[in-house]
Structure 1
Amino acid sequence: MTQLIESIVRPLVDHPDDVKVTHQQNERGDVYQLTVHPEDTGKVIGKHGRVAKAIRTIVYAAATESPQKIHLDIK
């Protein structure tokens, strides 16, 4: 899942080397935290959050066979 998130986000940003995805498991389920360069935050979120929503939709669809709930936090 980490590679999927990175492969979606890297082409969208100006600083692809600063894209980092970390994975944690907690009471919420599987939590993936996406961190990008501060200048790229707006590109990843998009106007009215549309890009972030699209990324989350793809990630959640890819995880349909996972028994755990998956969350994607963007910072």
Structure 2
Amino acid sequence: MAHVSIKSYGIFGIFYLYQTLDHIEPLRGWLQDLTGNAGKVQAFAQTWANVSNQLNRVGGVDAFAG
């Protein structure tokens, strides 16, 4: 029964943290500075995936195989 109450506190804690980050502007900006822009990160990842695919196509070798 204790695990249910601990789990409930965890859920409320996460909700409280989310609400705090969502409504206090400096915290939201700092978090975005720390984690980066998700769209830009995805774009860079896709660019490197394209480079890898092109290298595999041309050279027939996995560029990231080590």
- Normalising to structure 2: TM-score of the pair? 0.28
| Bigger RCO (CA 8 Å, 6+ sep) | 1
Structure index of larger Rg: 2
User: More strand per residue: 1 or 2?
Assistant: 1
